[in-house]
Amino acid sequence: MITQTRIMFVSPNALLGGGEINQMLLASHLDRARFVPEVVVSADGPYSDELRARDIPVKVLSIRPVRVGSRKLPSPAAAALLYRYIRKRRPHIVHSSSLPEDLHSSVAGRMAGVPVVHDAQTIIYRAAPFDRWRAAVSARVICISHAIRNSMARARLPVHNTEVIYSGVDLAEHARADGRKFREEFGLADAPVVGIASRLSPEKGHDYFLRAAAALKERFPNARFLVVGGATYAPRQYEMYLKDLSHALGLDNCVIFTGFRRDVLNAIAAMDVLVCAADEEALGRVVLEAMALGKPVVATKAGGPCETVEDGVTGMLVRPNDSRSLAAAIARMLENPENAGQMGRRARERAESSYSIEQNVARVQEVYRIVRAQHAARRAR
Ligand code: UDP
């Protein structure tokens, strides 16, 4: 008789980034008749609050990495702690996030004899020795885009046990998003609104966004440029730098820094165009969210958006690190609202057909089924 499959998710973060949102949506949409989720986090915070609000059991364990200079390294004490907890709870599968500091999931899972599925959610530029070990010992590696899988192959990491499964968005939640409320809060009335919604971190390309805004402000004097997001992981200096830059570029009247917004979907719903200006996005869940909200996207042609945005059909792709190309694409959207609206409608259709959370969950559940069956077969030998 097949029993319910207990899945222990592990996240070394207490804050809410794209990886945590992916994990939370997956955990909360699992078929509870077949799967029992539990999430181990390193500290209480916005992430554990959100999990509890969604009725997902949370365990706080001190599994933070150790800091050596600017690097975060896996901690042997964290691995030992997690190992003891896995032995106590006896999950069938440990599902770990991809962050380098989350190596302790692989160590603890392996020591406890529990198969580990791990997410690959970042582009690998240079593989550390432990990346190779972790990729090799994982029962399955879920890459959230082909760009990630390709980067693993380039870095000579094993890819035989990888599978590309795009993250999903909760379409019902998107249907409830209220852009008007957000426009009211910021006094945007019916101004054209262009926005970026990312944690404030240099690789997200906010400075190109601000420079593009500066290039457009005279041509589109009513336009407002929203910077939605906070310094989730990066030091606050970057936020200060961006605010200073915005001021120096003369954007005080047209750029609005909203800070981190839990109601980010309302913020995106308030936009006419969403910009993803990152140097190279691993996937860019925010792009999928904008698509699901029927917004055309202007994204840099690097990484995930090359797979999710069809240039000229659901949005536009521009060269990374190039504020002039970015400004030109935004201008085309603002000048042709009808065309932009049509791209947005096609984007929504694409999100509905390809990026629903239901599709994501069905594929991950199938991974769990296979991993559990393979593990059982190995033990029976
Ligand atoms: N986000 C949010 N509030 C904000 C800004 C961003 O909740 O103020 C969300 C955004 O909607 C997306 C996630 O944070 O779901 C960021 O994911 P993405 O893959 O775009 O970037 P990551 O942070 O994972 O690199």
Distance 377 CA to ligand 1 centre (A): 39
DSSP string, 170-201: -HHHHHT--HHHHHHHTT-TT--EEEEES-S-
Considering only the top CATH level, what class is 5-168+356-380?
A: alpha beta
- Name which residue sits closest to atom 5 of ligand 1, judged by CA: 229
Count of other CB atoms within 10 angstroms of residue 276: 28
Instruction: Answer whether 5-168+356-380 and 171-354 agree in fold.
Output: yes
Distance 77 CA to ligand 1 centre (A): 30
> Which tokens sit at 332?
């085309």
- Name which residue sits closest to atom 25 of ligand 1, judged by CA: 18
Tell me how far apart the alpha carbons of residues 147 and 132 are, in angstroms, rounded to a whole number: 18
| CATH number of the 171-354 domain | 3.40.50.2000
Pocket test for ligand 1, best of 99, 198, 233, 242 (most atoms within 8 A of CB): 198
Domain regions of the chain by residue span:
5-168+356-380, 171-354
What residues does 140 pair with on adjacent strands? 117
- Three-state DSSP class for residue 244: helix
**Residue 233 confidence (pLDDT):** 65
Question: What is the chain's pLDDT, residue by residue, as a tens digit (381 residues)?
Answer: 668 999 999 988 777 888 899 999 999 999 999 999 999 998 999 899 999 999 999 999 988 877 777 667 778 888 999 999 999 999 999 999 866 667 889 999 999 999 999 999 999 998 887 888 888 889 999 999 999 999 999 999 999 999 999 999 999 999 999 999 999 999 999 999 999 999 999 999 999 999 999 999 999 999 999 999 998 666 789 999 999 999 999 999 999 999 999 999 999 999 999 999 999 999 999 999 999 999 999 999 999 999 999 999 999 999 999 999 999 999 999 999 999 999 999 999 999 999 999 999 999 999 999 999 999 998 888
Pocket test for ligand 1, best of 16, 148, 169, 199 (most atoms within 8 A of CB): 199
